[in-house]
Structure 1
Amino acid sequence: MTVTDAPSANPTRRSRTIARVAAVQALFQCEQSGDTAETVISQFIRHRRISSTASFDDGHIPDADLKLFQEIVLGVTRRQDDIDAKLSDVLPEQWPLPRLDPVLRALLRAAVFEIGTDTPDRIIINEYLDVAHGFFSGDEPKMVNGILDTLSRRANDGNV
């Protein structure tokens, strides 16, 4: 089954949040393994059982909006150079992109990909802040908030 074959006709807020968490994990896996986005998406569907019948037990990801998951993973990998340039432009000098934790890097890339889409930026920022709090207990969520807020303001001012 491919992502586009899977049902997601009326995704809920929860299903979109789960898709974003899964996308961050998939982007991390792409970077660490060197596998293509298509390969990782396929692996997630087969092995992580991204479907409405799965449960969080044993690492499965239930109820994810599969279309959004695929859009984020494929979109980030296709536009990664542009996304990385935007991130590098706003990151503190002492924290260049390669120095960031790879999960944080994946999270920021996914969020930057979604900023400026049909979903309001404030929702995107809040969603990825929640995701950041799920992965990090330190100052990383504050950093995510600052970076995404800056990029959102720039996008809305036409400076991105």
Structure 2
Amino acid sequence: MTLSNNQRRKMKSAARLYAVQALFQMEAIGQTVDRVIVEFEDHRFGEIRDDIEMLEGDVDTFRALIEKAVDEQARIDQLTDRALVAKWPLGRIDPTLRALFRAAGAELIIGDTPPRVVIKEFVDVAGAFFPETKEPRFTNAVLDHMAHELLPGGF
């Protein structure tokens, strides 16, 4: 079966959302990378919850984000800290946003996706987790700073 560009794009977007959930779960309950990958790929991708079928996630994107976020966590956390104002160290940030910044930072480091696309995609993820709040704008500002530091010529 050949997927359309639109289907592939939706699966990549879903993989980003799943990566944030998986990174959050790893931090919250100390789950290992291998275990969380298996759980999400076997049970969460395409899951039916309350009669709503979740999208299938792009496995390659999901794995790349999780693995890079874990491998580069210290670097990504330092980037995030520099993007936050002094009053808001990473440890004071909501754990969901911390997971989001790690997944987005991983994708920026991987460098296969234009920074503006990465920022827009993860601002959308922030909007899914925090509807009608300021978190999406906050996410945009932090990710923009991170992207400019990582990829100064990428815009």
The bucket for the TM-score relative to the shorter chain is 0.7 to 0.9
> 1:55, CA displacement in angstroms?
4.7
Given candidates 69, 77, 87, the residue that maps to 1:76 is 69
Taking structure 1 as reference, are residues 31 and 55 closer, same or farther at Cα in structure 2, changes over 3 Å only?
closer
Alpha-carbon distance, 1:85 to partner: 0.9
Query: Are the aligned partners of 1:22 and 1:61 in contact in 2 as well (CA < 8 Å)?
Result: no
Report the number of matched residues: 148
Task: Provide structure 2 residue ranges, at least 5 long, that are not aligned to the other structure.
Answer: none
- 2:122 is aligned with 1:132: no
Q: Percent identity?
A: 39
Give the 3-state SS of the residue equivalent to 1:94 in structure 2. Answer: coil
2:8 corresponds to 1:12: yes
Match of 2:21 in 1: 25
- 1:1-160 equivalences under 5 Å are 12-48=8-44, 50=45, 54-58=46-50, 61-116=54-109, 117-136=111-130, 137-157=132-152
Runs (4 or more) in structure 1 with deviation over 3 Å come to 58-61
Partner amino acid, structure 1, of 2:93: L
TM norm structure 2: 0.86
From the superposition, tell whether residues 60 and 44 of structure 1 become closer, same or farther in structure 2 (CA, over 3 Å): farther
Structure 1 alignment gaps of length 5 or more: 1-6
Separation in 2, partners of 1:47, 1:129: 25
Indicate conservation of the 8 Å contact 2:41/2:59, yes or no: no
Q: Quote the RMSD (CA, aligned, Å).
A: 2.2
Deviates more, 1:125-134 or 1:109-118: 109-118
